[in-house]
Amino acid sequence: MVAKDLELKAHLLRRAGFGASRSELDKISRKSYEDIVEDLLHPDKFQLPDEDCLIRYTPELSYHDSHPLFAGKWIWRMINSERPLEEKMALFWHHVFATGYSKSEHTPTLIAQIDTFRQNGLTSLKTVLLDLAKDPAMNYWLDNCENHSDQPNENWGRELLELFSMGVGNYTEDDIKHASRAFTGWTFEQPLPLYPSGHYESSFVYDPSDHDDSEKVFLGRRGNFNGEDIIDIICEEKATALFICRHLYNFFVEDEPQVPAWNIEPPRNPEAIESMIAVLMDNDGELKPLLRFMFNSDFFKESIYKKVKNPSEFIAGTIKLSGTYGIVPRTGETVGSLYSAATVMGQSLMNPPTVEGWHTGHEWIDGGTLNERVNFAVNQFNDLETPGFMEMINRLGNSVKGSELLDRCLDLVGQFDIGDETRESLCRYADAVGDIDLSSDQAKSENAVKVARMIQLIVSTREYQFA
């Protein structure tokens, strides 16, 4: 199915960002689809979100000790950033290179890791992997600080190959051993003690006295390799391109089987994956050409509603509609509650369940998490004075015919589409409500709740769970 122009742009912003309000769609409506892709790929063209007001109303953000607070702040950035792909790629790499507070218990390094993903997420695979190998949070998470020349620790070397680059079946146990030896001496500066002043940041340290300088054999190549050499070799392998392209396809295009099954289950669209591999390898691992190709491809444009929204996407997209959690916080808004909302939906940002990260797609949904999702979305439209809902009411004009209510509201939700069965159900509500008068302040006060109820029904649908 080829979508209409504005519907296609809304699809792009759901996948390459976190959705868009109807007014945000209006702002880009005259731009070509291809120009919007270029804007997304060049975030430096747009200003960063102004955090001053947020910090003023949330003074706890002046400290680095609460990962839930900073995870909530990250969702706030997803909502408010004019550089959505920058945040989306940071979330993507966080999914792939899962690193958690459950072991580190050190918020500053986790914050720094997400900042690194934000800064280099659109550069090249080599840059991303090299910065990851030097990242203190990852270093501690996978024990490379315990990887010594006289007593190698293989945890980082194993996961680098298995979960971060090549996937099972594309290397040997000897490759793991030799890769691990190449990363000996890659450690981090021990931060100052926690007390009395709280957590301090840390930084990468290379200790040449602890590095194994002997010859190594890795993926059939022989040499006195260090960690950077290992990453260079990894990035030249087609298996790496396949692994990363499947991750990108799963995250941006269509739900794939889970990572542990990839060595036995082929991609759902092998032609699309092969074309992505070719672009990545032809461009020496540069990510922007690959993302440009993917977003402009037919397989991406035809993938509407083939992906279950992850909790962060779901929360940020819904709040974009309600207009809460803006640059200036409204009374009672705390970004920590955004972290809590995502957590009860199954995604505890900055604290994934394992090094494997989260299982995605339909595994985001069970009886408990679905209930949390629906309740969250509905509750966003209980307050009829939120900026987003007030804008919706104003867009409807002086009146809405009952026969038009559903389609008008679907448009307000951002070029949203539903199936025949869902439409039939929602039309019954529209028929029961009838024509709605919004011609005066008094009429709006009396009848806005009818519109809000329709919006609540839309965001409660099965279709709304999909991007």
> Measured in whole angstroms, how far is the alpha carbon of residue 251 from the centre of its chain?
8
Banded model confidence at residue 114, pLDDT cuts 50, 70, 90 = very high
Question: Average of pLDDT values for 254-260?
Answer: 93
> Measured in whole angstroms, how far is the alpha carbon of residue 400 from the centre of its chain?
37
Give the domain extent around 370. Answer: 311-465
Is the domain of 290 the same as that of 315? no
- Residue 74 within any structural domain of the chain: no
C-beta separation of 260 from 356 below 8 A: yes
Number of domains in the chain: 3
Rounded alpha-carbon distances, angstroms, from residue 110 to 122, 135, 139, 356, 407: 19, 9, 11, 17, 44
Is the domain of 119 the same as that of 170? yes
CA angle 100, 102, 106 (to 5 degrees): 75
Question: Average of pLDDT values for 353-369?
Answer: 93
> Which two three-digit tokens encode residue 108?
């500053």
- Residue 72 within any structural domain of the chain: no
Is the domain of 114 the same as that of 255? yes
Query: Alpha-carbon distance 93 to 102, whole Å?
Result: 18
- Residue 44 within any structural domain of the chain: no
- Residue 267 within any structural domain of the chain: yes
Is the domain of 94 the same as that of 233? yes
Q: What letter represents residue 355's amino acid? A: V
Residue among 52, 86, 58, 56 nearest 72 (CA): 58
**DSSP, residue by residue, 358-397:** ---GGGG--HHHHHHHHHHHHHTTS-TTSHHHHHHHHHTT
Question: Average of pLDDT values for 97-120?
Answer: 94
Is the domain of 351 the same as that of 254? no
Rounded alpha-carbon distances, angstroms, from residue 152 to 87, 143, 184, 402, 431: 36, 10, 7, 71, 71
Question: What pLDDT, on a 0 to 100 scale, did the predictor assign at position 300?
Answer: 98
- Residue 144 within any structural domain of the chain: yes
Is the domain of 369 the same as that of 293? no
Is the domain of 408 the same as that of 426? yes
Comparison of pLDDT for 252 and 333, the residue scoring more: 252
Question: What pLDDT, on a 0 to 100 scale, did the predictor assign at position 149?
Answer: 96
Over the stretch 170-205, which tens digit does the pLDDT of each residue have?
A: 999 999 999 999 999 999 987 776 666 667 788 999
- Residue 419 within any structural domain of the chain: yes
**DSSP, residue by residue, 171-220:** S-HHHHHHHHHHTTTEEEPPPPPSTTT------EEE-GGGS--S-EEETT
Is the domain of 141 the same as that of 16? no
Our CA dihedral for 451, 452, 458, 464, rounded to 10 degrees, sits at 140
pLDDT exceeds 60 at position 223: yes
Question: What pLDDT, on a 0 to 100 scale, did the predictor assign at position 364?
Answer: 96
- Residue 42 within any structural domain of the chain: no
Q: Write down which residue in 301, 336, 366 finishes a domain.
A: 301
Comparison of pLDDT for 286 and 197, the residue scoring more: 286
Is the domain of 416 the same as that of 323? yes
Q: What letter represents residue 191's amino acid? A: P
Is the domain of 171 the same as that of 248? yes
> Which two three-digit tokens encode residue 339?
């972290």
- Residue 170 within any structural domain of the chain: yes
Query: In which element (H, E) is residue 235 found?
Result: helix 227-236
Supply the DSSP symbol for 170.
S
Question: Average of pLDDT values for 44-71?
Answer: 87
Query: In which element (H, E) is residue 342 found?
Result: helix 336-344
Buried b (16+ CB within 10 A) or exposed e, 100-138: bbeebebbbbbbbbbebbbebbbebbbbbbbbbbbbbbb
- Mean pLDDT score of the chain, rounded to an integer? 94
Is the domain of 340 the same as that of 271? no
Over the stretch 302-324, which tens digit does the pLDDT of each residue have?
A: 999 999 999 999 999 999 999 99
Question: What pLDDT, on a 0 to 100 scale, did the predictor assign at position 415?
Answer: 85
Q: Write down which residue in 268, 301, 334 finishes a domain.
A: 301
Question: What pLDDT, on a 0 to 100 scale, did the predictor assign at position 1?
Answer: 41
Banded model confidence at residue 66, pLDDT cuts 50, 70, 90 = confident
Is the domain of 319 the same as that of 285? no
